[in-house]
Structure formats: structure tokens, C-alpha cells
Chain A
Amino acid sequence: MSNIFFWRKKREEEKAEQSQPDSASDAQSLVAAELPRRSSRAGIRSLFSRIKFDLESLEQLEEILIQADFGVTTAEAIVTEVKKIAKAQGAKSESDLKNILAAVIRDKLATGNRELNLSSGKLPYVILVVGVNGVGKTTTIGKLATWLTQGNLKVVLGAADTFRAAAVDQLSTWAKTAGVNLVGPSSEGQDPASVAFQAVEYGVKNQADVVIIDTAGRLQNKTDLMDELSKIRRVIEKQAEIAEVLLVLDATTGQNGLVQAKAFSEAIAVTGIALTKLDGSAKGGIVVAIQNELAIPIKLVGTGEGVEDFAFFDPEEFASGLVA
């Protein structure tokens, strides 16, 4: 979050010049207090709730990882690595092995920049949120908008999901919760790209800090719908840079998650992943394969339906939570 703090500091200084004098350091600490980095620990369940983990059960590790949706290839790779390190270190105890496993998983997830790109200084920061149907795009946007608002950022939501029944209403309910403005379609079934355009236009005109665009859920094998995303991107870029393209991924998703990430990346250059529904029994192991194969960092996690149930992804927490 350091990036956003720096940037906030600058904004606060500007504001301070205009109105009440306020020390820069005060402003910074104020913002830091307002934008807490929530822990995602609550949502992560251990792989080993029922199984003892020792040298013998190392053979079972592959199956355990497969059951956590890591996929056969990634599971095999992790087991090989853990075995190699365990042999080299002469590790035998359960806690040693768990530490090795956690380190291997963490290292696979720790690459790439996980900060939200809110520091370029080019306002407004446009965040485009994409994903397949039912993964929790709108809910994620609601939480993100609330969080940004708590940091005194001016947020505008663009309801470019003009397809699903009542999607706009759903987003506007979240907009009310967050206390932010919403730009929606003026007529039913309006072209989503034009809604996105209007939302960004409104954001520019009203000096918003962040514009978040909700899009309709689309299955990645529907080429025409994927093309629509490129169009939305082009149209937005006429007015502002796109700071983030967040792909929302449901933690219950299996190996198709990798296919999704690949297809969306090809269509619209995804910059980060929001992993939702981590509060269920699913482990979301597919993100390891996604990070490895596509180098798309996981940035946010969703851990419930409440407005506070959202956090920044921390590989360390995720990995240690899995082996706990």
C-alpha cells in the first residue's frame, strides 16, 4: 500500500495548501489508519486438517495438492521440489516438512507486483473488472469501492454489465453502501462500451480519483463477448489510461481457472487477480498454476459477503495458512 500512501500524501498536501494547514506526516498516518491492510488468514483452511504430514505421507502430498485444485502438473512439481529440499536438509519432522512446503508454495506466488496500480499520478485511475459469470465481480467492486472511499478517495462506479437482469441495481446498492456515484446505462441493454465511456467521462469531469468499471460475466470461450472487452478497453483509453484490469476468479473453480486467466489475458491484458469466495471449503490452488504459467499476480482476496470481507493477497499468509 505504500504506493497509494505516497500518492495520498501528495493529494493531502495539495488539499492542505488549499484549506486548513495540516502537517504532511499527520495526513499520511491518517490515511494509513484509514486504509488498513486486512488479513486474508481467516479464509484459508489447512490442507492437513485430517492428515498427518510426515516422510511417509509425503507420497500422499501430491493427492492432497490435487484435492486443493493445484492441478496434476503443479502438484507433481511441488512434490518433487519438497522432496529435493527435504533430502538436502535432512528434514524429517512434520513441522520441518510443513515449513518447506509452505516456502515452496510461497515462492511460487511471491513474484510480480501485488500492489494495486494507484500511483502513476494520472487521474482518474481506471479499474476494469472482468471475469466469467457468477464469480463475484459486482460484490468485489462494492467492497473495493467502500475501502477506497474510507481512504477519502473519490470513487465513481460504471455499471457496464448491461446484460444480466438487475446487475445495475445490484451495483447501485453497493454504490449507496459505499457512498459513491454510479454511472449506469440510460436505456436497457445500452452498449456496455458506451456506459464505460460515460463513466470515465464523468470521472474525468468530476475529478474522481478512481473509476471502477463493472462488466458482464462472460465465459471465456465466447469470442464475440471477449472481443467486446477489447472494445470497452479501446473506448476507455480514449479518455484515460487503464490502471488495472482485475480478473475475478472464484476459489471454487477448478482447472478451468487457468483457461480463464489465459483467455482473459489474451483478450484484455489482465494485470491482477481477485480471488473470491475463499471463505468456503475450496482452497483456490489453481492460482499457483496461474501465477506460474501466466505471471499474473493475485492482488485481492474475497472472504465473505460483508463489505469488510476483503483483503490484500499475501503469499506468506496464504502458504502458511495452507500448511497450518
Chain B
Amino acid sequence: MFGNLSDRLAETFKSLRGKGRLSAADIDGTLREIRKALLEADVALEVVKNFVGAIRERALGDEVSTSLNPAQQVVQIVNDELVKILGGEARKLRNGKVSPTVIMLAGLQGSGKTTLAGKLAKWLKTQGENPLLVAADLQRPNAVDQLKVLGQKVSVEVYSPEVGSGVGDPVKVAKDSIAHARSKGNTVVIVDTAGRLGVDQEMMQQAKKIRDAIKPDETLFVIDAMLGQDAVNVAKAFEDGVGITAVVLTKLDGDARGGAALSVASVTGKPIIFSSTGEGLDAFEPFYPDRMASRILDMGDILTLIEQAQKQFDEKSALEMAEKLAKESFTLEDFLDQMQQLRKMGSLKSMLAMMPGAGQMRAQLDNLDEKDIDRTEAIIRSMTPVERNNPKVLNGSRRTRIARGSGMSVTDVNSLVNRFEQAAKMMKTVAKGGTPQIPGMPAGIGSVVPRKKAKDKKKSGSKSGNPAKRALQEQANRDGGSLPTSGAGSAFGIGN
């Protein structure tokens, strides 16, 4: 099976990186690979053609031939062009001139509009808004009920005067909802509409009527990351039909390569502003074009990872941890603590998948057993407080006892202690302001000062004595020098 788009491009760049100077033939070979990789990633053909054309033009220009490291330059160009298509700078949700701000959701059936409505409402609440959900999908059986349940879960009112399932006029519901929101003092109205096909004239007409009735500040076009070549037709149909203002990408937590994002952004010229990354109602984040491009280029989505970490580690414990690090009193007890914090962040696998260079590790990631963390926890929990706070006291007989208590072998205990000591050492370096040598991570990352802490906690977590992960680390170590990301990372200033 072919790997991710990231993997494919990484493979392509590997052969480029060794070269001092590039010939036109080198570039053409690379472009062929890029074309194929993009097509396999479901980027629409016409978009691929334009993309490859633009890269070729720039790559053959002076820009590359006079530069010291042409390979890096090609990588830079691909990244630039990806970011350009994906929308450049991240855009924020547009606010209405008068309250309430009106947001309309539109898209194909099953793209995830209703679930997204719930997530968006929840997120808006954290932004200090007072959202109202409007059930204007009166088509799909029980879509109204679904929205009601979601509203309840996120504690947001749902305006649902009609039962739906084919009954009621969605245009009227949408229209009335605005007055309702005004009377209730809502600051944002989110109108969920029925899924419709681009070719369904009647339903597109209805969407247009809804739009005209509520004059949305944002018309969000919801697409799922698995969408294929048809993304272009669908996007054009919705652009012509309702006139979208921005795009939301859902199901990004799957393994689809998400080429549709490129297609839609390219064809409509509209920015992707949010992405939906999981089943939970928290799995919702702003879309960062530069990060997506980095992800495509297999530089990992380290910034997203860091933000998630920041959200989860509460300030106070972070401060305490910082103090401990500074005083060099980091203990196994803290280690255990951190692992539990990490757990809160969600599946470790999805976290690891965001790490730079993870493309190479994907196969191993699939084999990663989260139970290994349980085992590590078991070992630490079998230690006395004294042992946890001072691993140096762990002599042979203590280790035997711990092994027995946790149902693991003495070797497991030994390797955990060893890795803990390494991790502790690394964290001290960080606390003193140094950059730890983390395999597979772009050099620039270590210098992200305000975010450093959270990220390193993550790394220490991943050194947590999980044998599968250790294998990953070792693998990364072995590959270290040849990881496509480590060389290219600083070129993009991903840490900025």
C-alpha cells in the first residue's frame, strides 16, 4: 500500500537532498512523483496540473540554480505553493456587523455538518460567545433530533420549531431563527442545513433561498477529507449555487490524504478555516494552512500537538513542573503524573502521528499498543514513594520486588529506570534553556520558547518505557540523519 502524501513526497525529496545542483531532468523526475503522489492523495487533476506547472516554473528559474542547496529550495517551493493554495495566512471566523453573527453550514450528505454544528457551538462558547443552533435540516430523518442531542451535550439552545424528517419549511425556520436569536440575546446563530448534491437543482435553489433569508456572515462549505476528484465539481456547484465564504474540513482524523482540501481551496479560492479531527465534540480546531502544508510535507503537525498539550496541561501543574525541572527534582512520581496528563490529550497514536517524521513510523505506529503505557504505570505504581522520589535507591532486591508486584520482568523494570534517567537528563537540559537532541525533529522546533515545555513533556512521555515507542525512538535514531524532515525543517522556519 502506498503511504501518505507526506511519505511519497518525503521519498521524492530523499533523492534530491543529496544533490548539490539540480538538472532539469532531476526536477522533471521529482515533478512526476509529485504529480502521482498528489493524484493518489485525491487532489483534483486540474489542480495538480496547475500546481506542478507552478513548481516547475519556479524550480527551473534562477531561484534554484543559484542557491546553495537547490534540493532544499525545491522543498521550500513545494511548501510555499501548498500554503498558497491552502489559503496563506490562517483566517478567523468573520464577525457580523450587527449581532448576531449568522453562520450557515452547507455541503454534501454525510460530510458531517450536524456534528460540526455541535462542535462549532461548543468552540464558540469557549470563545465567550452565546451561540444558537438552528435545525434547518428538515430532510434527513431525525437530523433535528441529532442536533437537539448535540445541543444538550454542549449546553447550547437549539431552535427547532419543526420536527423535520421531511416535514416543515427550512427557509422559514432559518429566517425565524434570527429574530429568535435577537430576542434571546444570542451572539452567533449556526444554521444546519440538509445535505444536498451539487447537481440537485431544486435543493440548491432551496439553499439559496435560505441564504437570502438569513444573509449569513459566513457560509461554511463542509467537506470530508475522503472526498475524491469530484471535490472540484461539488465545490463549483456550491460556489455557484449558494456562494460559500469559507471551507471546513472534516474527518481529518482518518487516514485519507485529504487532497480534497487542496482541490477545493484552489478551485474556489476560499480559505479553509476549521478542521474537525475526531469523534469527540472537542475534536475541532482552526485550520492552519502552513501546518497542513507541513503535514503534507511530512514535517509533522508539531504546532497542533503543542497547542493540544497546552490546552490539557493546566497552568498550575505546568508551573510546578517547571520548578521541579529547574531544581532537578523530577521524579518517577512526576513521570507518572505526566503520563496521566498525556492520556487526557487523547489517543497517543494520534499524537504521535502528528510528530515530524512520523510518516516513516506509521507502520510501527499501527502496531503501537497503548497497553504498554498501562504496564509502565503498573511498574511505577509498584514502587514505594521513596523509590519513586529517588530511583537511586533501587537495588536488585527492590527491583525484583517491583517486577513481581507489577507482573513484569526485572529487565522491564531496569529499562524503565534507564529511560527515565535519560528523559530526566534531557529535561534538565531543556530547563536550562538548551535544545535537546530529539531524533527526527527539525532543529528549529527546540527554540519555540513559550511552547517548549509542553512539547518536551510530550517527548518525555514518549520515552516513558513503552517498548513499542522505544522501538520508534530507536528507529528514528537510526534514521535520524536521513529523516527528510530534519534537514528541511529549519528552512521553513516552522518554529516561528
Taking beta carbons and an 8 Å cutoff, which residues of A are in contact with B? 63, 66-69, 71-72, 132-136, 138, 142, 163-167, 169-170, 173-174, 219-223, 250, 252-257, 259-260, 262, 277, 279-283, 286, 305
Closest to B46 in A: A67
A67-B229 CB under 8 A given contacts A165-B149, A165-B153, A250-B110: yes
Which A residues touch B44, using CB under 8 A? 67
**B:297-319 near A, CB below 8 Å:** none
Closest to B144 in A: A166
Q: How many A-B pairs with Cβ below 8 Å?
A: 145
A166-B230 CB under 8 A given contacts A219-B251, A221-B255, A256-B255: no
- CA A221 – CA B139 in complex, angstroms? 31
Interface string of B109-133 (1 = CB under 8 A from A): 1111001001000000000000000
A262 touches B110 (CB 8 A): no
A71 touches B251 (CB 8 A): no
Which B residues touch A250, using CB under 8 A? 110, 226
Which A residues touch B234, using CB under 8 A? 252, 280-281
Contact partner of B228 among A134, A136, A164, A254, CB < 8 A?
A254
Q: Which 6 A-B pairs have the closest CB atoms?
A: A254-B228, A134-B110, A254-B42, A165-B149, A166-B146, A282-B230
A219 touches B255 (CB 8 A): yes
B260 touches A254 (CB 8 A): yes
**B:189-232 near A, CB below 8 Å:** 197-200, 224, 226-231
Closest to A164 in B: B146
Chain B CB within 10 Å, residue with most, of A170, A222, A305: A305
- CA A71 – CA B38 in complex, angstroms? 11
Verify if B141 is at the interface (C-beta below 8 Å from A): yes
A72 touches B224 (CB 8 A): no
Which B residues touch A164, using CB under 8 A? 115, 146
B40 touches A282 (CB 8 A): no
Q: How many of chain B's residues have a CB under 8 angstroms from any CB in A?
A: 52
Which A residues touch B42, using CB under 8 A? 69, 254-256
- CA A167 – CA B150 in complex, angstroms? 12
Q: List 13 A-B contacts (CB under 8 A).
A: A132-B251, A166-B143, A166-B146, A169-B141, A170-B140, A173-B165, A222-B253, A253-B227, A259-B255, A277-B109, A280-B198, A281-B230, A282-B228
A259 touches B150 (CB 8 A): no
Interface string of B233-276 (1 = CB under 8 A from A): 11001000000000000010111110110000000000000000
Contact partner of B224 among A134, A165, A173, CB < 8 A?
A134
- CA A250 – CA B257 in complex, angstroms? 16
What's the nearest-Cβ distance from chain A to residue B71, in Å? 25
- CA A64 – CA B149 in complex, angstroms? 44
- CA A170 – CA B145 in complex, angstroms? 9
Verify if B77 is at the interface (C-beta below 8 Å from A): no
- CA A221 – CA B198 in complex, angstroms? 29
Taking beta carbons and an 8 Å cutoff, which residues of B are in contact with A? 1, 36, 39-42, 44-45, 108-112, 115, 118, 139-143, 145-150, 153, 165, 197-200, 224, 226-231, 233-234, 237, 251, 253-257, 259-260, 279, 366
Which A residues touch B141, using CB under 8 A? 138, 142, 169-170, 173-174
B142 touches A169 (CB 8 A): yes
Which A residues touch B40, using CB under 8 A? 71-72, 255
Contact partner of A281 among B36, B110, B199, CB < 8 A?
B199
- CA A167 – CA B41 in complex, angstroms? 31
B229 touches A66 (CB 8 A): yes
Which A residues touch B224, using CB under 8 A? 133-134
Which B residues touch A254, using CB under 8 A? 42, 226-229, 231, 256, 259-260
- CA A254 – CA B108 in complex, angstroms? 15
- CA A166 – CA B111 in complex, angstroms? 17
- CA A255 – CA B165 in complex, angstroms? 32
Closest to B107 in A: A134
Chain A CB within 10 Å, residue with most, of B108, B228, B259: B228
What's the nearest-Cβ distance from chain A to residue B349, in Å? 8
B228 touches A132 (CB 8 A): no
- CA A257 – CA B149 in complex, angstroms? 30
Contact partner of A66 among B45, B110, B257, B279, CB < 8 A?
B45
Which B residues touch A69, using CB under 8 A? 42, 228-230
Closest to A131 in B: B110
- CA A252 – CA B199 in complex, angstroms? 13
